[in-house]
C-alpha cells in the first residue's frame, strides 16, 4: 500500500539584513532619521557604503537632484511632487516620497524600492504621469534617444498601466486580442523590457507616455 503524500514543511525564512540609510543634512532630515529608526532601518553618517540608500530631503524633486550626490540607490523626500520633478527623478532611477505622507511603513517600502535594481512605479505616481501625456520636447528621433513608439503602442501602454488584460485592451481599442498581443511584444522588444510592468516603467522614464 502506497503511503499518503504529505507536504514538506516550509523552509525557515531567511532574515533580511536591515537596510542602511544615509540621510543628507537638510531641514526635515531629523524627522526622516526618527522614522527610519522606528521602521528598524539603520542610519549612517559619512560616505555611503555599497548598497546604502542615500536620502535627500528637499522642497521638490528638482532641487533634490541639483546638488552633488554619491552614486547608488537614491530616495527623495519632497514637500511637493510635480509631474516634471517626478519624471526627472524616475529617469535618474530615484524613488520619490511626499514628506506629508511619510510614515515608518512608507519609508521602509520606499527604501526597498530604491534598493531594487529596477525600482517599480506605484500606481498613484504612474497615473499622475500618464494623465498629462508625453513630456513636451522629449527626444524621440531614435538617434541615441528613447525608442520611438507608435500611437497604438502608446495607447496599449496606457491601458496596460491601468491593469487591463489583452482581451480588455482589444475591446477598448476595437481590434483583435492577437493584434494587442503582437503590439505588447513589439513594445517590450523596443523598450528592452522583461515584462509588462517593466515596459510601462521604461516608457515613463523615457518620457514616451
Give the integer Cα–Cα distance in Å for 106 and 101: 8
Look at strands 74-78 and 20-23 and give their pairing.
unpaired
Predicted model pTM: 0.54
Give the integer Cα–Cα distance in Å for 42 and 119: 21
pLDDT tens across the length of the chain (209 residues): 444 444 444 444 433 445 788 999 999 999 999 999 999 998 887 666 777 899 999 998 888 888 766 678 889 999 887 777 887 887 788 888 888 888 999 999 888 888 875 555 665 565 555 555 444 444 344 445 667 788 888 888 888 887 888 998 998 888 898 999 988 988 888 888 888 888 888 877 777 76
CA angle 39, 59, 127 (to 5 degrees): 75
Q: In terms of C-beta density within 10 A (0-12 exposed, 13-18 middle, 19 or more buried), how is residue 47 classed?
A: exposed
**Residue 44: predicted pLDDT:** 86
**Residue 36: predicted pLDDT:** 93
**Residue 136: predicted pLDDT:** 40
Closest CA to 179 of 191, 163, 167, 188: 167
Distances 58 to 5, 85, 100, 176, 192 between C-alpha atoms, Å: 58, 12, 12, 48, 33
Amino acid at each position: 500500500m502506497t503511503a499518503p503524500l504529505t507536504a514538506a514543511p516550509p523552509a525557515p525564512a531567511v532574515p533580511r539584513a536591515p537596510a542602511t540609510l544615509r540621510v543628507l543634512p537638510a531641514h526635515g532630515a531629523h524627522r526622516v532619521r526618527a522614522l527610519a529608526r522606528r521602521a528598524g532601518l539603520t542610519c549612517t553618517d559619512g560616505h555611503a557604503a555599497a548598497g546604502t540608500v542615500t536620502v535627500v530631503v528637499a522642497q521638490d524633486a528638482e532641487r533634490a537632484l541639483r546638488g552633488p550626490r554619491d552614486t547608488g540607490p537614491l530616495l527623495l523626500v519632497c514637500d511637493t511632487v510635480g509631474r516634471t520633478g517626478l519624471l526627472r527623478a524616475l529617469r535618474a532611477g530615484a524613488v520619490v516620497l511626499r514628506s506629508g505622507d511619510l510614515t515608518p511603513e512608507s519609508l521602509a517600502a520606499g527604501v526597498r524600492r530604491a534598493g531594487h535594481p529596477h525600482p517599480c512605479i506605484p500606481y498613484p505616481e504612474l497615473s499622475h504621469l500618464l494623465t498629462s501625456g508625453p513630456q513636451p520636447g522629449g527626444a524621440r528621433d531614435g538617434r541615441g534617444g528613447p525608442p520611438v513608439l507608435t500611437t497604438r503602442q502608446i495607447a496599449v501602454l496606457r491601458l496596460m498601466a491601468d491593469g487591463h488584460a489583452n482581451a480588455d485592451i482589444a475591446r477598448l481599442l476595437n481590434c483583435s486580442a492577437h493584434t494587442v498581443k503582437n503590439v505588447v511584444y513589439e513594445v517590450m522588444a523596443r523598450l528592452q523590457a522583461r515584462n509588462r510592468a517593466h515596459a510601462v516603467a521604461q516608457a515613463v522614464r523615457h518620457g514616451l507616455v
